Structure 1
Amino acid sequence: MTEGYHGDRVLVRENGRLHMTPMLLVMVAIGSADILFAIDSIPAIFGLTQEVYLIFAANAFSLLGLRQLFFLIDGLLDRLVYLNYGLAAILGLIGFKLIVHALHENTLPFINGGQHVTAIPEVSTPLSLILILGILTVTTIASLLKSRSDARRELNAGSRTDA
């Protein structure tokens, strides 16, 4: 490993030996994060559909546009203070859907004697989308209202200290 960067090169020859530059580590780290994101998002898309083509396409397109979208909305994320709670609720909904689907497809002998569990109704895809949009809408509006309220409070506190 070299001590510093050599432009945009990932490998350089020093004293007759081939060395890696820190740029190679940066590229491996970014690629690893993309792969981790792709693997992590597969259960989320399964919460909406079982179509393999749609799952593959959604992951491919999310990997293509995720980094650009992040830089686009980076400033907005600071104002969405309740977004993490909304995302937790969405992940909980998807987890519930996956568990209910697994119970409906049950073949495990230690759960309900290996019989399908039909007592719990499945959440349909349209209802899932409505719930997800509703959760995102509520958390976004609540976050923006809080951000606006905090900004007003700071403005009022600043004007009182000036007087």
Structure 2
Amino acid sequence: MRTIGKLLVGTVLAGAVATGIAAAPAASASAATATTASAATTATAAYSNGWKRFDRGDGRFEYRWGKSNGRYWLDFRMWDRDRHDRDYSFFDVYYKRDGRWYHYKRFSSKSFYSNKIVFGRDVDDFRIRGGYGHGGNFGWSGYHNYR
């Protein structure tokens, strides 16, 4: 009796799959026109990864990046969840030129801070990290590299 039940279930599943395959060409034809219409958007999305987030201590960091006209750009926001302690949130930005890393700038905030950076055309890569602390005692995140 179990084999008849399995056979019946298998037949129903096979019928459902066959129906899906028959309907697929019409759906893929309309999807193909939508795909070609959004090709420019997809090319832009290859560099613009949307907002990403990481935390370090009470510091919260969000960033997105891209490349346009041969230049990298970085847009970031950071905020400190605990404004009543002595600690600050820190955001370090580094860039790479001719195979060497250089420190671009350190940003700090006791509340909320937002900035957009556009690097020069000679910049090959960049990386960021977030930290939390005071008086030179920071808990740093790992580096976030892009390329």
Judging by fraction of residues, say which structure has more strand.
2
Give TM-score, length-normalised by structure 2. Answer: 0.22
Judging by fraction of residues, say which structure has more helix.
1
Give TM-score, length-normalised by structure 1. Answer: 0.20
